[in-house]
Structure 1
Amino acid sequence: MMLLTRYIIRRLTATSFYALLAFLALYSFFDIVSEAGDIGKGSYNGLKMMQYVVMQMPAHAYELMPLVVLIGGLIALSQLASGSELTVMKTSGMSTKQLISILLQFGLIFAVLTAVLGEWAAPSLSRSAENLKATAVNGKISTGSQGLWLKERNNIINVREMLPDHTLLGVKIWAHNVDFQLAETVEADSAVLNNEGWQLKNARHSLLDGNGVKTETQAVEQWSIELQRNLLDVLLVRPEQMSVTALTTYIGHLKDNHQQTKTYEIAWWRKLMYPIAAMIMALVALAFTPQNNRRGNMGLKLFGGICLGLAFHFTGRLFGFTSQLYNVPPVIAAILPTVLFGILGVYLIRKQEKR
């Protein structure tokens, strides 16, 4: 049985990776078409565009993982069925429960991969990709491990991080005089963007003159700055691109400031459920696997399974929007699509067994 288990998992994994590569190639083509219009802006050239596209691949892979498991599972199981291998396995003593156990092991492999991509690889590389592009297109800003650096008039500014509500964290400003000699440094815990500039909170000033350094602190201070707001968007990460750890921290920040958290709570629950969705899709693949090798039956089943996978891919987003409109609890909005598809898979498998 161990030999059969390894054989089936190997076939399932191989076809799933082929499906993933095909989808990534398609998504990368769309990214290249979208980015081609920005080539020539600043130092953004073809090589940097390709770097940007490659660094976005982990985020695409994360989004596609349940769909890839479904399509890869459908293709592999259909190939086994068309070659009568599934029939031979069942007549040799393999039960449906054992086949389901093998599929869950296969789904677990991709569930772990999904968790790794969603928690570490995708958020980090997506942010690095945006930093790369922003630095190339906008010559007066630079990004790195310490956040965003920019020059505005005689000021050099460093912003460590920007929260999704456009609150800036870790703001440092070095102000120079007309001879570009350092005249003042300002360090603020946070800043809020408004029409007049930045509203600094807990701003600590160090004034330099011929007699030494004078320090003072302002609880709230308005800092006038002429800077396009979209230049700072390079620091902004959408909820879907945030890790569970980052979402947890930000939800706590919003609650402390008595702000709405539903959008981020939905994203948090979806992050937890997404690896489980990969395992559920493995069961759905079995449910849509043809039980005989008739070509018409096989093509119809494959088409139906792929359509179902695409439906799952977009249903999660739809539930997120509708939950905000109709005040549905975030946990229900996030887990309901996965639960419904899981129930559908179990129902169809039981229906097949009764035939």
Structure 2
Amino acid sequence: MKILDWYILKRYLLTFVMMLLLFIPIGITVDLSEKVGKILENKAPFDEVVAYYLDFTVYFANLLFPLFLFLSVIWFTSKLANNTEIVAFLSSGVSFTRFLRPYLIGATIVASFALFLGMFLAPYASKGFNEFKYTYLKKNKNIQQTRDVYRQINDNDIIYVSNFVAQSKSGMNFTYEHFEGNELKYKIFADNIRYIEEDSTYRLTRYVKRSFENGVESIEQERSKELVFPFELEDLTPVEYAAETKPYGELLDFIKAEKRRGSSNIGRYEVVKLKKWSLPVSIFILTIIAVAVSSVKRRGGMGVNLAFGIAIAMVFVFFDKVFGVMAEQSNFPPLIAVWFPNAIFGILAIYMLQNAKR
């Protein structure tokens, strides 16, 4: 690697790290100023607050990785352009494509780290971040499906609960159906079901079991009965951020199980999975756009490049959020929702790169 490559690569990585070190403390300060009242009101322990902001740092950095990188590339490349260093590089016979090489090397390093972070580290940070938020900051917010819970537990068993209370691990109007092949073998009804944690059983109130064998129906009734079922009630309605808290391998198993159970949140889970791959790709796309925008010396100086870059970043975030919400709350395909912003901005990157070469 030549001196030019090392020079740009060092500036690329150093400016990116400095951007993180600048904005993350600002983000923590703003977040703390908004939530300090609730933290004190709910008497959150100091060590949990510290752990929350450590998780917040990882969560915040992972979420905004591409934007931090985009702004840092515009910043230091604009400085190179204003100092006419880029003109000197290109005048020495270096092609624009060759000039872009250290940027792509830097993008590969950052994208690899972002991929590792998203696959393995960010899920644990997301778990701590969300658990603290819903324990101390949003105590009364419902984060699970609580009405008309209908789930397929495995290939043979289906349950229904009309009203589910996660805190007490109980449900009302419970129904359990057991099939063998396409034939219903028995069906259990209960006005109430409650999980007894001490012995891992379920207490059913006003229990009724209808069994079917060789065309003959039999009915069993009891005022109260304790049974063992192959599930825990909180597993039936995972919290809305469940997918964010799982490393990639566990996430794939979780989505597979939720599809089998007929979950209505599959779109949300698929978006989480696909974004782990789309975010590193967006780093390359935004790097190319940033170089194309800022490699030309403009009359307005660095401010014009930054303003233009921030406008592009806001549009990217807008597309990403809008299509993500569409996939989570409708039948819009998650694959299209997640990759559409990258596709649009990828085309923009190619167009701007061709103009920059000229």
Give TM-score, length-normalised by structure 2.
0.69
In the alignment, is residue 70 of structure 1 matched against residue 85 of structure 2? no
Matching residue of 2:333: 329
Q: What is the aligned-residue identity percentage?
A: 24
- Which of 262, 275, 278 in structure 1 is aligned with 2:280? 275
For structure 1, the 5+ residue unaligned runs are: 138-162, 168-190, 206-215, 224-228
Matching residue of 1:345: 349
Distance across 2 between alignment mates of 1:259 and 1:63:
26
Closer, same or farther in 2 for the Cα pair 1:108/1:44, shift >3 Å? same
Give, in angstroms, the shift of residue 252 of structure 1: 0.4
Give, in angstroms, the shift of residue 65 of structure 1: 0.4
On the 8 A contact 1:123/1:242 being kept in 2, the answer is yes
Distance across 1 between alignment mates of 2:334 and 2:104:
27
Query: Matches of residues 149-228 of structure 1 in structure 2 within 5 Å?
Result: 193-195=170-172, 198=194, 218-219=228-229
Give, in angstroms, the shift of residue 24 of structure 1: 0.9
Matching residue of 1:146: none
Give, in angstroms, the shift of residue 67 of structure 1: 0.2
On the 8 A contact 2:5/2:101 being kept in 1, the answer is no
Alignment RMSD (CA, Å): 3.6
- Which of 301, 304, 320 in structure 1 is aligned with 2:305? 301
Query: Matches of residues 15-164 of structure 1 in structure 2 within 5 Å?
Result: 15-41=15-41, 43-45=43-45, 48-130=48-130
Matching residue of 2:247: 243
Q: What's the CA shift string for 1:133-190, capped at 9, x where partnerless?
A: 77889xxxxxxxxxxxxxxxxxxxxxxxxx97689xxxxxxxxxxxxxxxxxxxxxxx
Closer, same or farther in 2 for the Cα pair 1:50/1:295, shift >3 Å? farther
For structure 2, the 5+ residue unaligned runs are: 138-142, 150-167, 173-191, 202-225
On the 8 A contact 2:78/2:305 being kept in 1, the answer is no
Amino acid at match of 1:218: V
Closer, same or farther in 2 for the Cα pair 1:46/1:344, shift >3 Å? same
Amino acid at match of 1:101: R
Q: What's the CA shift string for 1:42-88, capped at 9, x where partnerless?
A: 65255642432222100100011000110011011111111111111
Give TM-score, length-normalised by structure 1.
0.70
Distance across 2 between alignment mates of 1:328 and 1:43:
42
Distance across 2 between alignment mates of 1:217 and 1:193:
14
On the 8 A contact 2:62/2:122 being kept in 1, the answer is yes
Amino acid at match of 1:283: I
On the 8 A contact 2:130/2:241 being kept in 1, the answer is no
Give, in angstroms, the shift of residue 97 of structure 1: 1.3
Distance across 1 between alignment mates of 2:79 and 2:49:
39
